Structure 1
Amino acid sequence: MTINNLHLVTILLMALATYATRVIGYAALSNRTLSARTRAVLDAAPACVLLAVIAPAFVAPKPADVIALAITVVAATRLPMIATVTVAMVASASLRWLTG
């Protein structure tokens, strides 16, 4: 299997954009003292991104996706972020495999 050159360039540019946002954010905030409110907003950002990714499953016509979403919600209330993401991926992949 070969990868299309356009796809490869797209992947590399997306990786560069992701990395650039991290570096720019670090450079912009490295010499500043952040308020508690600002820290709270920055701490909530990963959860907001995760929600944006899984929110479409609320209206998914596939039962496997809806069940995986329910499992993810339960995991999110009890586990740290990385564990929640892992549970979500395993639940989604397993249920999709089981249901075809």
Structure 2
Amino acid sequence: MISLTSQEIIDRIGELASELTPPSEIAVLLGIDPDRLRAELSIKDSPARQAYYRGKARTANVLRKIELEFARVGSPLAVQLTGSYLRDMTADEDF
């Protein structure tokens, strides 16, 4: 049985998440039972969950930067998308 606490697996989870790989596919690629991986990802302080969300967030950030650049040069779709990013950001500010 593969340990979900090994640093190698945690790093791979983060890497695959950064490539926007869904959890079920991450499980298949790593030879982990999908339900077991989902259970691990549901634990808020799990290193696997942190790696998953960190990887996903890094890619989301890169994509937002690209959209911002397109918006700056006048892409109407990019302007619309960046507006939705700003609304999402504001909605997430519950501090």
> TM-score range with shorter-chain normalisation?
0.3 to 0.5
More helix by percentage:
1
TM-score (norm 1): 0.33
Bigger Cα Rg: 1
Greater RCO between the two (CA within 8 Å, min separation 6)? 2
TM-score (norm 2): 0.34
